């Protein structure tokens, strides 16, 4: 029987879980690392889930009309997801790119017909920076005003509950179903923290005793303009000694069981190792999650445990970085 889909929006989710068999063996891990390969989503990342859910919610509420314009600020993957679905649904997309994005991401966005600008182009941005510094709430308010003034729809991924709720609807249930609920740890990073919040809440409700490990770059591995270092971009340092700063986590009263800091240089080495050992071409945050999961797996008390690692995207958007650069 024919099985032909009408739109790429029908292809979101149901991504595979794959045991990192050779990586586990090569590192003498007594626990089992299992990667959830989110680059199997149609635009290549886990952000497809949140992007589609935000669009569908806006359509259902009448906030997004046929032929309308969607606006978002992003470091890349959410923008690419929105671009793919905007094209499929007949919308236009206007993106303000955050500092530190790779050129590959800009190229992909433009290929979808997206209008691409940068944070400095947000109306009122310079005044906010001069008076308040990088004040995220004021920048979001400036974005909202820009959209209101022009009749655009602002997805506002940092404040939109449809972001984290996408993972209650799909990512979390998929993990439970595909493992028969046999998961001891789930490991992931935070950009907007939508994945960490949604997956964490769902697994905590449905798998007794599961532990959620949040991963963040150490401060030396955060992107800083003008510095040529091994950085992990598109994610945040969200926890300082138990003081959680991310709005979704705070709003939902969700705290990880543990937060692990990882180093950029070790992350890059892990990405290359994973590609050579298991044929998994990981993005930076995916490699960082695997690195943290390896640290958990090496603890003697975790022998025989099962660790699911969220791999948000693949390495194609990082080819210009030091992780996969020609000089490696």
With the C-alpha atoms ordered 255, 258, 263, 268, is the resulting torsion angle positive or negative? negative
- For residue 252, name the pLDDT band (cuts at 50, 70, 90): very high
Percent of the chain with pLDDT over 70: 99
Give the mean pLDDT of 169-193.
97
Percent of the chain with pLDDT over 90: 82
Has residue 328 got a pLDDT over 60? no
Give the mean pLDDT of 197-219.
97
Q: Report whether 191 contacts 72 (CB < 8 A).
A: no
pLDDT at position 154:
97
Task: Print burial letters for 34-43: b (CB count within 10 Å at least 16), e (below 16).
Answer: bbbbbbbbbb
Has residue 217 got a pLDDT over 90? yes
Given the residues 36, 47, 294, 305, the one annotated as active site:
47
The answer to whether the predicted template modeling score (pTM) of the entire model surpasses 0.85 is: yes
Has residue 281 got a pLDDT over 90? yes
**Residue 313 phi, psi dihedral angles, 5° rounding:** -155, 180
Q: Report whether 156 contacts 141 (CB < 8 A).
A: no
Counting DSSP H helices and E strands in the chain, the numbers are 12, 12
CA distance 19 to 34: 4
Examine the residue annotation and report whether 45 is marked as an active-site residue of this protein.
no
What's the order of all strands across the beta sheet hosting 306-311?
A: 17-19, 32-37, 306-311, 185-189, 211-217, 258-262
- For residue 326, name the pLDDT band (cuts at 50, 70, 90): low
- For residue 242, name the pLDDT band (cuts at 50, 70, 90): confident
Q: Indicate the range of 53-67, 92-106, 178-192, 275-289 predicted with least confidence.
A: 92-106
Burial class from Cβ neighbours inside 10 Å (0-12, 13-18, 19+) for residue 228 reads exposed
pLDDT at position 23:
98
Give the mean pLDDT of 196-201.
98
- For residue 233, name the pLDDT band (cuts at 50, 70, 90): confident
Examine the residue annotation and report whether 285 is marked as an active-site residue of this protein.
yes
Angle between helices 47-60 and 77-89 (to 10 degrees): 50
- For residue 61, name the pLDDT band (cuts at 50, 70, 90): very high
Given the residues 73, 81, 221, 285, the one annotated as active site:
285
Q: Quick: pLDDT tens for 297-317.
A: 999 999 999 999 999 999 999
- For residue 231, name the pLDDT band (cuts at 50, 70, 90): confident
Q: Which domains does the chain have, with CATH numbers?
A: 8-45+164-318 (3.40.50.1100), 47-154 (3.40.50.1100)
- For residue 100, name the pLDDT band (cuts at 50, 70, 90): confident
pLDDT at position 261:
97
Closest-CA residue to 109 (of 90, 125, 87): 87
């Amino acid at each position: 029987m024919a099985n032909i889909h009408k739109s790429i929006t029908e292809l979101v989710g149901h991504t595979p879980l794959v045991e990192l068999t050779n990586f586990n063996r090569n590192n003498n891990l007594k626990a089992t690392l299992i990667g959830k390969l989110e680059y199997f989503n149609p635009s290549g990342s886990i952000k497809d889930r949140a992007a589609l859910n935000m669009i569908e919610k806006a359509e259902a509420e009448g906030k997004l009309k046929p032929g309308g314009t969607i606006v978002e600020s992003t470091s890349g993957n959410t923008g690419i997801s929105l671009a793919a679905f905007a094209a499929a649904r007949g919308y236009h997309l206007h993106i303000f790119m955050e500092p530190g994005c790779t050129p590959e991401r800009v190229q992909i966005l433009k290929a979808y017909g997206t209008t691409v600008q940068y944070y400095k182009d947000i109306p009122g941005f310079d005044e906010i920076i001069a008076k308040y510094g990088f004040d995220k709430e004021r920048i979001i308010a400036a974005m909202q005003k820009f959209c209101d003034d022009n009749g655009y729809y602002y997805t506002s991924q940092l404040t939109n509950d449809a972001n984290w709720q996408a993972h209650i609807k799909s990512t979390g249930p998929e993990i439970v179903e595909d493992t028969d609920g046999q998961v001891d740890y789930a490991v992931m990073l935070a950009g907007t923290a939508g994945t960490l919040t949604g997956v964490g809440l769902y697994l905590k409700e449905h798998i007794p005793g599961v532990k959620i490990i949040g991963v963040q770059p150490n401060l030396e591995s955060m992107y800083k303009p003008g510095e040529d270092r091994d950085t992990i971009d598109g994610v945040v340092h969200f926890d300082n000694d138990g003081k959680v700063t991310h709005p979704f986590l705070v709003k939902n009263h969700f705290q990880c069981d543990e937060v692990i800091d990882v180093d950029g240089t070790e992350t890059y080495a892990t990405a290359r190792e994973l590609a050579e050992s298991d044929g998994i071409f990981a993005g930076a945050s995916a490699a960082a999650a695997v690195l943290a999961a390896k640290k958990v797996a090496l603890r003697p008390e975790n022998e025989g445990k099962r660790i699911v690692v969220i791999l948000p995207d693949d390495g194609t958007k990082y080819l210009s970085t030091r992780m996969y650069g020609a000089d490696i």
